[in-house]
Structure 1
């Protein structure tokens, strides 16, 4: 099969639809914390904007800014799968904690010390606060003081990627600020002008506005944990505090790059950067005096930025460079400074236009319109947040948006691979944003590379093993090598799915061959060797738990767990399909087919009373959307317990982060009924949606100030699957949409490399358009209120057939087809 020449076609078949009115987020009160501030970003550099007394503050974040220390000095030898198998099967291990496991061997053990080591949480994870992402620093605009109380209006125009802030005082003074981050280079641009600053309204003897650029010193973990507890009542880092072996980063410094003052933060050496990772922040404008604050006492690095003239209008560039940038951290500072020196304000205007054009290009890829403002706004706000911090040429964030991370992070802010890392990516392909979907892969590459060592050394398997916890950079060994969660087999298949979906939505054979299949192959080889046959030739999975729980002393809790078997089956199947498409690795194909033919059955379709269609859909459905790890497969007749809007439902009380995943499971099993359930979904989103358009994943009342967790961005997927599904081989138009709410979408992407636009009106599909990027048979379904007709772009009717309420017609490469009522 040749590579599809029209893959990634961005053209919108309904391009005549206007973008206006643009979507905005408006906040008319001060925001006191970065996690609630309006977001800007280019996918790598991002900021959150909030306020302090008499200040507008831009909190910087960048995806690659991590404290990369992995301290294995107290860690025992990582668990080997044979040790765990013997511990479960022969010794009856139990445990009761993720730090101190309180391990016991119910049947006795001949090595008490080793048993305790393997039941305890890994010291490198449980007793050290790093690796973890780090905040970068802040730019503060100091506003006029000694004035009557201020009113503030903050507005993000989503389709332009522009934030405007207006500060007003009763005496007529106004400060207008607009800011943006262009697609490149990594700079924040702040422009301002001031009205009403006269001899009568002015205060003080200085300029009306000035700036500070600063980075505070990394606190000790003891100080940070104490402050977290004092402010929130939430205790964390107990293992770290007990160990007393952590030390903060060295203090940031003011320095120079050539003639330009910068703030520099140096990190400790790691495998990738022998002299340590570093970043620099540099304010640039020849019309602003920049001086370092060199006073005893302040535990920070700070630059004062004072405009040279009356400061009634002006602009300021803040450039950021890191060790991962081409030429190193200082190179971007030199490039930006040279450009400003040569072109001055013209560079600012060029970046402004680049920023708008980049935003316009992004938002042309798809759109939605819903007669429910909050649902429509949620779609745009969520995609905007993803655009700020995700792009395909840099590593993706860990648990939290980079401009909202704290000095230390819960769960190390890591790549958590049992839904957290995957969740924000679930909706990208359907939204026709390959740029966002492809951000999945750079950060996974180090984990896949390390996974080959882990599979070989600790599982005696070929291929790669994906650990529960990982990091988007090179580390020397297993970061989570002991404890009851250290050898769970299901995450490997979960990660593999994203490489298969990328192919299914684009039919890009070249991408599959170069990038997708090597990962699919290695994930499948891991399962090939992990699964072991019994005397009758049936393959079983032992030992591996599912979900997250302790050692229980029960053999059955680690044998053929449904979550493990489902992922093994699906992974072997998609690797086999990929190898067949590429006509590659015949011997592997034979092994994979053998495992599939003889794999133990965990979901018996007869016992589950599956119809033939349900059995077919079960095979095609990704395991993560079949059932929650330890739960049953939802059925259409089930009551919607997960939608209870009471505090006995954790999703409602304190943990929206798992809501998108739960909703996807219900949708895929047709257990979600729009007329019954839509209002409750609306209530969940409305409860957890913040003024800046993000959706809080975990309650601050229970978890403290942990930043904006990206897993909630997974809400894109179920919102879109209410309007379009294609995972079962059929393009289903509005399969789970309420009849009374009109809606439309343009250029959603469907499996098979189809771009789909459709309108739902008065309880049925009014019309649709499909672009076939690669040709082939198009299968679609939807409720039409009359006789359906298919026409090509020239108006000629296209014949179709109907099989079980599914319409089928032949498409040509690049063909455009209109579907409507005759």
Structure 2
């Protein structure tokens, strides 16, 4: 095998490493080193505890295996578990008005004729009606995540009390603490099987031995928000066998079409199996009448112990059986065996990376959110939507619970790279590849252009047209390069050529084909409008800002468009070199080179004090309040600017950050990560914002921060708090990672935004170029730097010790006298660095 070939390549104005051309798809298992942080033990220090009944959905303990999600709540008379699944959706889809939508050019020409002095485009009758029609499909209540029902375990509160519950995030074990009338403590142990879509429960005494049953009844409940226009669930009971089960069909066709079955119909079944049998009982209700137990409800007969398995099956309706499935009998041995397997899986997960911080709140946030990530996403399962795999009633269905391509769907996967959990990015990668056909079709039929235009909103269902073709947010050009950026980052951090070839190359190329053609349209270059030699992004819309305006006042050359297009153009140029496809892409690469050499400048403005700042769009006021932190896109996610930039640019970034105002709701991770990238994150302020957004279950909601944007003094600042569990905020550890280490431009910086008065240590954070980096900063000094080279690329690292460094490479000592350390490495090689 030839040695890896490394070259330097100009990428987004900074030096970039051309990665190893001989790489394997699988991640290398890194051997543990002496003094390694025990991530499993560290995670166990940060349980999520309720010292009282946690009856509200947002107080419950969040469990999951990456596919199925379970929320464990407790109330004074029962324990209630809510089930959801990434694969289970109301899959009905409206695709009306196909012909009425017309083409981009037809709509564009009509919008051009609307007077520029109108207050809003909706002042024009045609546009108002067209906008209403174009949004008609999205206003349907479907598609959406479909809650998979709940399980209630009831007891007589005269005999049993709930003391609280505790979630051990190191292994996903939820323990509900109970107190009997005889003052005996019992514990209901609950966890989700990490390999199979099932949940196991086991009641134990204080010594961990099986306890005698204390529960009186169990009830399995289909979701109360089940639409009336889909087939009703079917219930099955096997009382003697201790089983309660229901099956729900999810039709493919809309209500007026599903009188007969469709081969694409889906279904799921929730089945509870008890280590005993059920009996039906009656009781006297409040008005003196006899009341029978409901369907799917049973009383527990006398039994010595309590064990339950709840299983969830999902898939095509033709595959999910009509009858109750055969299941393994629940019991203490099954519980112990599966839990042991689970612990091994969790140990492997926590061994990927770890931190040890003297700021215990930040350490807690780091471990808890990586726990949530593992519960919500894994390869081979549908990519989570806005609210992941936890849902009940209408919780988790706002905005269809869908994929918003202007940050919401991308953000949670930002954490996968530096945290060394690339496997968690695969659901996103698969989502983008699944959207490629409809995106290509839309580019061809609506825009009459090559390549792919990725939609503003999307669903995990079969689509033949853009789900959101409205010419406001539906015309955000930035969403196309943004959609595929995460595929390039996956390659950037893995140096996996097979991944680049098989998963990333085609979507990135298709995006570039569209973007190059779009910027080379006659309307976007030259003429009376532009009077320059630049290729412009026109028309376009900034994320969550202005929408489409009369005269296209704020609808060209948005900072987000410019930086992400530049990013993906240069990424594709490099990808073509790596894969040896430059000749077959000669025309496209020529267009890209031409556009980049005639590229617009980032929009800027001056503050009242006269300072230059970046803004979202040309002509914008310096006092604009943003919904998404638009002004600093060039720093992140564009990665054009950052700590590698020159002094003048760093001053521009600093001024922009100090001036920027964000109204909240979309900035908890985003704006703080931008600040970390430019070395300006105030850790105390960051922590205060997290605490403001925290829910009792340990997750962080989207919360409003200020007025003068879309909100006013009568706005409910917590209106998004109970929409669902916000999947996007699980990326919070990425902000902490960027404070500990940065490598976005191929050069590693250690502790670039870490307070000098705080100690911190990290293990196996992943750097661009496929390096795993470990380091500590103790009493303001960087120590214990160890780097593992997965693929044998050249290592670039800014020395934290000035010019005098001792480096040991696989046991051989050496010294480098330079501010930037550059070392040639081999695959599987360890490096240790220290101050002389």
User: Structure 1 620/711 Cα, relative in aligned 2: closer, same or farther at 3 Å?
Assistant: closer
Aligned to 2:751: 734
User: Structure 1 94/474 Cα, relative in aligned 2: closer, same or farther at 3 Å?
Assistant: farther
Q: CA deviation at 1:503?
A: 0.3
Q: What are the residue-to-residue correspondences of 1:127-526 with 2, within 5 Å?
A: 127-147=139-159, 150-169=161-180, 171-193=182-204, 208-218=215-225, 248-255=229-236, 261-270=244-253, 274=263, 276-289=265-278, 302-311=295-304, 313-323=305-315, 328-330=319-321, 334=325, 337-338=326-327, 340=328, 346-404=333-391, 406-407=393-394, 409-526=397-514
Aligned to 2:59: 36
User: Structure 1 528/195 Cα, relative in aligned 2: closer, same or farther at 3 Å?
Assistant: closer
Between 168-177 and 74-83, report the one with greater CA deviation: 74-83
User: 2:55 aligns to what SS in structure 1?
Assistant: coil
CA deviation string 1:627-654 (max 9, x = no partner): 9xxxx9984543865899xxxx633xxx
Q: CA deviation at 1:159?
A: 1.5
Q: CA deviation at 1:210?
A: 3.2
Q: Distance in 1 between matches of 2:103 and 2:197?
A: 44
Q: CA deviation at 1:132?
A: 1.1
Q: CA deviation at 1:602?
A: 3.2
Report if aligned partners of 2:223, 2:393 keep a CA contact under 8 Å in 1: no
Aligned to 2:684: 679
Q: CA deviation at 1:349?
A: 2.9
Q: Distance in 1 between matches of 2:424 and 2:293?
A: 35
User: Structure 1 725/602 Cα, relative in aligned 2: closer, same or farther at 3 Å?
Assistant: same
User: 1:159 aligns to what SS in structure 2?
Assistant: coil
Q: CA deviation at 1:209?
A: 3.9
User: 1:35 aligns to what SS in structure 2?
Assistant: coil
Between 73-82 and 586-595, report the one with greater CA deviation: 73-82
Report if aligned partners of 1:27, 1:153 keep a CA contact under 8 Å in 2: yes
User: 1:419 aligns to what SS in structure 2?
Assistant: coil
User: Structure 1 274/257 Cα, relative in aligned 2: closer, same or farther at 3 Å?
Assistant: farther
Q: CA deviation at 1:55?
A: 0.8
Report if aligned partners of 1:60, 1:136 keep a CA contact under 8 Å in 2: yes
Unaligned runs of 5+ in 1: 106-111, 197-201, 221-246, 611-616
Report if aligned partners of 1:697, 1:711 keep a CA contact under 8 Å in 2: no
Q: CA deviation at 1:130?
A: 1.4
Q: CA deviation at 1:128?
A: 1.6
Unaligned runs of 5+ in 2: 1-19, 255-260, 615-631, 643-648, 705-716
Normalised to the residue count of structure 1, the TM-score between the two structures is 0.83
Aligned to 2:663: 650
Report if aligned partners of 1:67, 1:130 keep a CA contact under 8 Å in 2: yes
User: 1:394 aligns to what SS in structure 2?
Assistant: coil
Aligned to 1:750: 767
Report if aligned partners of 2:307, 2:331 keep a CA contact under 8 Å in 1: no
Matched length: 745
Q: CA deviation at 1:707?
A: 1.1
User: 2:383 aligns to what SS in structure 1?
Assistant: coil
Between 439-448 and 6-15, report the one with greater CA deviation: 6-15
User: 2:593 aligns to what SS in structure 1?
Assistant: helix
Aligned to 2:5: none
Between 757-766 and 550-559, report the one with greater CA deviation: 550-559
Q: Distance in 2 between matches of 1:304 and 1:71?
A: 37
CA deviation string 1:453-473 (max 9, x = no partner): 111111111111111111122
Report if aligned partners of 1:215, 1:301 keep a CA contact under 8 Å in 2: no
Q: CA deviation at 1:81?
A: 1.7
CA deviation string 1:360-410 (max 9, x = no partner): 110010101100111000000000111111111111221113213542622
User: Over aligned residue pairs, what C-alpha RMSD do you find?
Assistant: 3.7
CA deviation string 1:697-755 (max 9, x = no partner): 23673246311111212212111100010002211111100011101010010000000
Report if aligned partners of 2:145, 2:400 keep a CA contact under 8 Å in 1: yes
Report if aligned partners of 1:174, 1:195 keep a CA contact under 8 Å in 2: yes
Q: Distance in 1 between matches of 2:556 and 2:90?
A: 38
Aligned to 1:715: 732
User: 1:26 aligns to what SS in structure 2?
Assistant: strand
Between 489-498 and 3-12, report the one with greater CA deviation: 3-12
Q: CA deviation at 1:777?
A: 1.5
User: 1:779 aligns to what SS in structure 2?
Assistant: strand
CA deviation string 1:293-339 (max 9, x = no partner): 9x99999985224444335x2211111011169x93349974xx35x
User: Structure 1 7/320 Cα, relative in aligned 2: closer, same or farther at 3 Å?
Assistant: closer
Between 517-526 and 295-304, report the one with greater CA deviation: 295-304
Q: Distance in 2 between matches of 1:157 and 1:411?
A: 32
Q: Distance in 1 between matches of 2:773 and 2:99?
A: 54
Aligned to 1:811: 825
Q: What are the residue-to-residue correspondences of 1:33-182 with 2, within 5 Å?
A: 33-73=56-96, 77-78=100-101, 80-92=103-115, 103-105=122-124, 113=126, 115-120=127-132, 122-147=134-159, 150-169=161-180, 171-182=182-193
Aligned to 1:244: none
Between 723-732 and 316-325, report the one with greater CA deviation: 316-325
Aligned to 2:592: 592
User: 2:668 aligns to what SS in structure 1?
Assistant: helix
Q: CA deviation at 1:273?
A: 6.2
Q: Distance in 2 between matches of 1:530 and 1:427?
A: 31
Report if aligned partners of 1:69, 1:270 keep a CA contact under 8 Å in 2: yes
Aligned to 1:780: 797
Select the residue among 542, 545, 559 that pairs with 1:546.
Answer: 542
Q: Is 1:797 the counterpart of 2:786 in the alignment?
A: no
Aligned to 1:4: 23
Q: Distance in 2 between matches of 1:524 and 1:497?
A: 11
Q: CA deviation at 1:144?
A: 3.2
Between 254-263 and 543-552, report the one with greater CA deviation: 254-263
Normalised to the residue count of structure 2, the TM-score between the two structures is 0.81
Report if aligned partners of 2:88, 2:146 keep a CA contact under 8 Å in 1: yes
Report if aligned partners of 1:155, 1:165 keep a CA contact under 8 Å in 2: yes
User: 1:166 aligns to what SS in structure 2?
Assistant: strand
User: 2:379 aligns to what SS in structure 1?
Assistant: coil
Q: Distance in 2 between matches of 1:94 and 1:660?
A: 38
Q: Distance in 2 between matches of 1:95 and 1:219?
A: 44
Between 756-765 and 581-590, report the one with greater CA deviation: 581-590
User: Structure 1 361/544 Cα, relative in aligned 2: closer, same or farther at 3 Å?
Assistant: same
Q: Distance in 1 between matches of 2:456 and 2:553?
A: 21
User: Structure 1 38/138 Cα, relative in aligned 2: closer, same or farther at 3 Å?
Assistant: same
Aligned to 1:232: none
CA deviation string 1:542-564 (max 9, x = no partner): 22121233332123422223322
Q: Distance in 1 between matches of 2:815 and 2:339?
A: 49
Q: Is 1:601 the counterpart of 2:595 in the alignment?
A: no
Report if aligned partners of 1:764, 1:785 keep a CA contact under 8 Å in 2: no
Q: Distance in 2 between matches of 1:7 and 1:124?
A: 44
Q: CA deviation at 1:256?
A: 7.0
User: 2:140 aligns to what SS in structure 1?
Assistant: coil
Q: Distance in 2 between matches of 1:30 and 1:368?
A: 32
Q: CA deviation at 1:12?
A: 5.5
User: Structure 1 309/560 Cα, relative in aligned 2: closer, same or farther at 3 Å?
Assistant: same
User: 2:390 aligns to what SS in structure 1?
Assistant: helix
User: Structure 1 501/405 Cα, relative in aligned 2: closer, same or farther at 3 Å?
Assistant: farther
CA deviation string 1:513-552 (max 9, x = no partner): 0011011111111102111243676322222121233332
Aligned to 2:37: 17
User: Structure 1 87/368 Cα, relative in aligned 2: closer, same or farther at 3 Å?
Assistant: same
Aligned to 1:231: none
User: Structure 1 212/608 Cα, relative in aligned 2: closer, same or farther at 3 Å?
Assistant: same
Between 573-582 and 164-173, report the one with greater CA deviation: 164-173
Q: CA deviation at 1:154?
A: 1.3
